[in-house]
Amino acid sequence: DTGVSQDPRHKITKRGQNVTFRCDPISEHNRLYWYRQTLGQGPEFLTYFQNEAQLEKSRLLSDRFSAERPKGSFSTLEIQRTEQGDSAMYLCASSFGGAANEQFFGPGTRLTVL
Amino acid sequence: TQLLEQSPQFLSIQEGENLTVYCNSSSVFSSLQWYRQEPGEGPVLLVTVVTGGEVKKLKRLTFQFGDARKDSSLHITAAQPGDTGLYLCAHVYNFNKFYFGSGTKLNVKP
């Protein structure tokens, strides 16, 4: 399967714990996006990378959130000191070339903070 | 960001019925995209519309971009249970970021 993959698919954690999610984009894609989606809403942009450079960060991405894409391939999204409001689906997408090109989404990581 | 309002929020219909969902804004867009998202999965791109008044067809789905490029509609003919999902419209802003509407949740009952 050469689509976008995300790991884990589900994560349950207690408030205050740190969590890390991984995204493996389609191999030739240079752009990688992270989104957050809560129930009943569309995805909200969090951040995006072009190759290994993080070029945009949403104001939604507080200091507790950090994302990396160290070699321009896979990416990680870490949330420190999780809060109940962080409970959501975290989606990763990748694309090749310009912003208007098709994004391919992964299946997401469902985070539940107890 | 430029708000995208989608309506209706929820739609439950019988198999075989026709339906239309809408994506509206007060802003002009260079393009709009439509996605379908099934439960537990990421959104999948259905179509991109770029020209005012443009109509695109994808089997039983017909997409229209408003003449003023502020709104778009998706019409489904003879809906099937496989059409069930969350339909999202989105636009690109600041060249790099995508803004999504809140979606229309469609349920097609057999």
Encode pLDDT of B36-92 as tens digits.
999 889 999 999 998 999 999 999 999 999 999 999 999 999 999 999 999 999 998
Contact: B40, A4; criterion CB under 8 Å: no
Cα B101 to Cα B7: distance, rounded to the nearest angstrom = 10
Cα B4 to Cα B13: distance, rounded to the nearest angstrom = 24
Q: How many contacts (CB atoms, under 8 Å) link A and B?
A: 58
Measured between CB atoms, which of B43, B92, B101 is closest to A100?
Answer: B92
Is residue A1 over pLDDT 80?
no
Instruction: Work out the burial of residue B14: count CB atoms within 10 Å of its CB; fewer than 13 is exposed, 13-18 middle, 19 or more buried.
Output: exposed
Q: At residue B22, what are phi and psi to the nearest 5 degrees?
A: -125, 150
Instruction: Give B96's pLDDT tier (boundaries 50, 70, 90).
Output: confident
Whether the Cβ atoms of residue B20 and residue B106 lie closer than 8 Å to each other: no
Q: Which residues of A touch B45 (CB under 8 A)?
A: 102-104
